[in-house]
A and B are shown apart, each in its own frame.
Chain A
């Protein structure tokens, strides 16, 4: 069984640019959640997708958006990048909305 995978591993962007991060869920999982982990902090919930619909959102501005595809893989898009967006972005998939979340290795985004 394949675990949660994320791409790319690392990414460097400049302020004002846009970025797309990708996540492949664990086989059979229909729910994906995205988190931002800044240095020295715990992961912070960005949003969750369940069966291609947004199912909850944390305190992040609208320039953070997402998609979930019919195969339950997912994208996180961030527009108008700011320096403070530099962080590790984690996605987690679960069998269903209220089940245990299993994390991918993350994408480290650096904004210069």
Chain B
């Protein structure tokens, strides 16, 4: 049973436009959410996180939105750049616990 779901395996976005990656979760005990970015042959790199007491967190071109009632979060990248092409993993944990539960990832392609 997948507790963190990324329903889009891939997404293509024009360079300069907004990329929106979506993530849904089922476990209402989750209170901390993260996005990781992964290039081939590298480990996941931490991108941005959000605590359940907030509904938005911004860091430069990256913004994460959390809708607790819908159990949904999204990552917005504006403007999208070629270096943003990678696999993006949504992840969640409860009480910032030991275990982080990852989604299957979304492959983002930034088109020139």
Binding site for B on A (CB under 8 A): 4, 33, 35, 40-45, 48, 50, 55-56, 58, 90, 92, 97-106
* Contact residue among A42, A45, A90, A97 (Cβ-Cβ distance under 8 Å from B43): A90
* Contact residue among A45, A103, A105 (Cβ-Cβ distance under 8 Å from B101): A45
Judge whether A101 and B46 touch: CB under 8 Å: yes
Note all chain B residues with C-beta closer than 8 A to A45. Answer: 98-101
Judge whether B105 and A56 touch: CB under 8 Å: no
**Bound-complex Cα distance A64 to B97 (A):** 21
Residues 27-48 of chain B, each 1 if its beta carbon lies under 8 Å from chain A, else 0: 0000000101000011111100
**Bound-complex Cα distance A47 to B98 (A):** 8
Judge whether B46 and A33 touch: CB under 8 Å: no
State the Cβ distance, B66 to closest chain A Cβ, in Å: 17
Query: For B43, B44, B49, B97, which residue has the most chain A Cβ atoms within 10 angstroms?
Result: B43
Note all chain A residues with C-beta closer than 8 A to B45. Answer: 103
Binding site for A on B (CB under 8 A): 4, 34, 36, 41-46, 49, 89, 91, 95-105
Note all chain B residues with C-beta closer than 8 A to A56. Answer: 97-99
**Bound-complex Cα distance A102 to B36 (A):** 10
State the Cβ distance, A20 to closest chain B Cβ, in Å: 19
Note all chain A residues with C-beta closer than 8 A to B4. Answer: 42
Note all chain A residues with C-beta closer than 8 A to B34. Answer: 100
The 28 sampled A-B contact pairs (Cβ below 8 Å) are A4-B43, A33-B98, A33-B100, A40-B104, A41-B104, A42-B4, A42-B89, A42-B102, A42-B104, A43-B89, A43-B102, A45-B101, A48-B99, A55-B98, A56-B97, A90-B43, A90-B44, A98-B95, A98-B96, A100-B34, A100-B49, A101-B46, A103-B43, A103-B44, A103-B45, A104-B43, A105-B41, A106-B43
Which residue of chain A has the shortest Cβ distance to B38 in the bound complex?
A103
**Bound-complex Cα distance A97 to B89 (A):** 21
State the Cβ distance, B71 to closest chain A Cβ, in Å: 17
